[in-house]
Amino acid sequence: MTEHLEPAQHDAVSRCGYVAIVGRPNVGKSTLLNHILGQKLAITSRKPQTTRHNMLGIKTEGSVQAVYVDTPGLHQNGETALNRYMNRTAASALKDVDVVIFVVDRTRWTDEDQAVLERLQYVTGPLIVAVNKTDRIEDKAELLPHLRWLAEQLPNAEIVPISAQHGQNLETLENLVAERLPEGEHFFPEDQITDRSSRFLAAELVREKIMRQLGAEVPYQITVEIEDFKQEGHVLHIHALILVERDGQKKIIIGDKGERIKRIGQEARKDMEVLFDSKVMLNLWVKVKGGWSDDERALHSLGYQ
């Protein structure tokens, strides 16, 4: 039985550690991170594989600093170099972390969930299963047998029903994390919220808007590179290059008379102005670079390392 710490004890003991957020694609890992941090940091969309890199989200509250690691979804499609990179990236987050949060989607269970569960059998540290989107379950009687089944599969795990999108029960989840973090000095300054550069965050925001705009029209062979990022007075000038693999994809992103790329730029700029607290001038253009998503060297040069 875990001994729950009282808030007063949190104040007395400095705690800090890494918390991996893992699960199959599209279960709400990035949404969960954003709601814990209280601001948008990780990009989200309804498309699987939106998250491609591990990213730290740092939350410091009093004497407790939790360093969350948002990971790409662990998936079974390892056909391209990019897919293999994402799987390696997600799996690496399970090493040397202090707590693991396994996010699952309601009572839905897929082969990919099972594959993640099998990897977690080897995790020796504290494990929390966050059963997400429980607010969408119409018949709550369905949930209890599934929670019991999860408890049988992972007998050492704490199981917490949550809604990441609506912030339900996240305080309980955060308290469970805080209790399991080791005692120690904080790794990061109190006001730091991520390890990623502003250029990286800008590129991710552009990619998010493309993912949201295009639906299934363009597959996942797109990436964004920031070629220029400089503050001039009160204005932040950002030039972003969108790389695609084929001419047809370029035409889809640009859209009829440039309408689609204009809309992508407008939406990305709004989020950038909030994130960077500055007026932003954003220039986008699209370039074809055939086969980049299955070329290890190209991936490395584009920051997938």
From its phi and psi, is residue 22 left (phi > 0), alpha (psi between -120 and 50) or beta? beta
pLDDT at 123: 82
pLDDT at 137: 86
**pLDDT band for position 2 (50/70/90)?**
very low
- Residues that constitute the known binding site: 23-30, 70-74, 132-135
pLDDT at 119: 85
- CA quadruple 176, 182, 185, 191: dihedral sign: negative
Read off the pLDDT of each residue in 102-114 and give the average, rounded to a whole number. Answer: 92
**pLDDT band for position 50 (50/70/90)?**
low
Read off the pLDDT of each residue in 123-134 and give the average, rounded to a whole number. Answer: 93
Is the pLDDT at 84 greater than 70? The verdict is no
132 Cβ neighbours under 8 A, 6+ residues apart: 27, 28, 32, 103, 104, 105, 106, 162, 163, 164
From its phi and psi, is residue 170 left (phi > 0), alpha (psi between -120 and 50) or beta? alpha
- Residues that constitute the known binding site for GTP: 23-30, 70-74, 132-135
pLDDT at 42: 81
pLDDT at 214: 82
Read off the pLDDT of each residue in 266-275 and give the average, rounded to a whole number. Answer: 96
Read off the pLDDT of each residue in 180-186 and give the average, rounded to a whole number. Answer: 96
Is the pLDDT at 74 greater than 80? The verdict is no
Mean pLDDT across the chain, nearest whole number?
85
209 Cβ neighbours under 8 A, 6+ residues apart: 263, 264, 265, 267, 268
pLDDT at 39: 87
Read off the pLDDT of each residue in 207-221 and give the average, rounded to a whole number. Answer: 76
Look up the pTM and report it: 0.80
